[in-house]
Copies of this chain bind each other. A is one copy, B any other.
Amino acid sequence: MIPRYSRPEMVAIWAPETKFRIWYEIEAHACDAQAALGVIPKTNAEAVWKAQDVEFDVARIDEIEAVTKHDVIAFLTHLAEIIGNDEARFVHQGMTSSDVLDTTFNIQLVRAADILIADLEKLLAALKKRALEHKDTVRIGRSHGIHAEPTTMGLTFARFYAEMDRNLTRMKTARAEVATGAISGAVGTFANIDPAVEEHVCAKLSLTPEPISTQVIPRDRHAAFFAAMGVVGSSIENIATEIRHMQRTEVLEAEEFFSAGQKGSSAMPHKRNPVLTENLTGLARLVRMAVIPAMENVALWHERDISHSSVERNIGPDTTVTLDFALARLTSVIENLVVYPETMLANMNKFKGLVMSQRVLLALTQAGVSREDSYRLVQRNAMKVWEQGADFKTELLADPEVTAALTPAEIEEKFDLGYHTKHVDTIFARVFGAA
């Protein structure tokens, strides 16, 4: 977790204070359930809630852990210091450390997912706004980095919207994957604790009881969770790559926002670097790198080994924090992206009218000219554009063999941009719903 690529709300989820607070809630709810079952006295269960508004002393817990070498025992000892040794004696009864640790990890991932979902919703709002704004802003579509046919900037934003909307669904699915809790004992048999405790605790914490656990919650869930984040990260890279391309000096169809006072560009106005989207490209790699270790974590030995733990201590915080930051940064980039419609038109006409050559070719063929001749006609005029910087339409209109087949009006029509944008509304309706 790198501070400069972190936001406080997500970081807080992974703070020791948060962890201990969740541990506490699990233990307290478990005591309630145990008391309801008659396993422990009701007064003891009630006593645990005395710590409800007490802030746990992380330094003190660390101090105890330094002696006991066991984090859960250290916490329970500290809890006893707060609510009284006698009152605390039934806390954690019948439970295993993993019951607390795994349920807590899942709660943290659920909360992280909630932030990521909110992040995606903000990004979607930004993409939609810019899509509507530039619905009809024509720019050249490119395949292989080479001009193909016209499209619009709105369609570019709209396709990113559609992709991120799928990611929203994926993150919601991923959230559901890890929204489970388990309080099932040392090997998951509930030998020492009734399943009713698990059910009560999960209900209170908005989790689903894990249908069957071992000592741990099965890690295929987490693999799926990190895989979903990996896809989201890849989509971020996709958008970032588009913007980096648009901002390069020769293209310059858009730029990341530069505040008036921002230093570095004063002497060289062209030197505005797409550093935010370049940074997002790197962050995408970081998000993605957690996918394989999360998958390697699935095959634990028998009822558990602890190899997954060090991995999760790293990728749990790091990946969610990085993805949260990246989504927020991307949203800001989209909201503030400076779009240059004039340059888009200028770029499209770099080879004047040439992008329309295929329409002309088709028209000639349909007008009865043989395919070979049509090619020849288009090509000899296209070459004048390519080699001498001529204007394609002007050349066509001046070519008697062309005008023998097509009227000036027909030729003109081939250069109508409206031909390319006539279905934009249809596509927008598909993506954003009926207007």
Contacts and interface: CB of A to CB of B under 8 A. Distances in A.
Q: Most chain-B CB neighbours within 10 Å: which of A146, A264, A430? A: A146
Nearest to A159: B212
A253 B44 CA distance: 44
Contacts of A166: 177, 220-221, 224
A126 B128 CA distance: 48
Interface in A43-65: none
A367 interface: no
Given A187-B143, A272-B146, A303-B151, A211 B427 contact: yes
A131 to B, nearest CB: 10
A192 B366 CA distance: 14
Nearest to A170: B224
Contacts of A159: 188, 212-214, 218
> What DSSP secondary structure best describes chain A's contact surface?
helix
Contact of A310 (B5, B220, B291, B295): B5
Nearest to A268: B357
Contact of A242 (B235, B302, B314): B302
B149 A426 contact: no
A273 interface: yes
B187 A141 contact: yes
A303 B69 contact: no
A274 interface: yes
Contact of A299 (B221, B234, B361): B234
> Interface residue tally of chain A, by bracket?
35 or more
Contacts of A142: 187, 248-249, 301-303
Nearest to A304: B143
Interface in A163-194: 163, 166-167, 170, 173, 177, 185-192, 194
A192 B356 CA distance: 12
A171 B70 CA distance: 35
A289 interface: yes
A212 B303 contact: no
A386 B340 CA distance: 14
B274 A145 contact: yes
A320 interface: no
Contacts of A250: 248, 250-251, 347, 350
A118 interface: no
Contacts of A147: 249, 270-271
A245 B292 CA distance: 23
A108 interface: no
A68 interface: yes
A238 B263 contact: no
**What 7 pairs between A and B have smallest CB-CB spacing?**
A141-B187, A145-B248, A144-B273, A282-B310, A234-B298, A227-B227, A142-B302
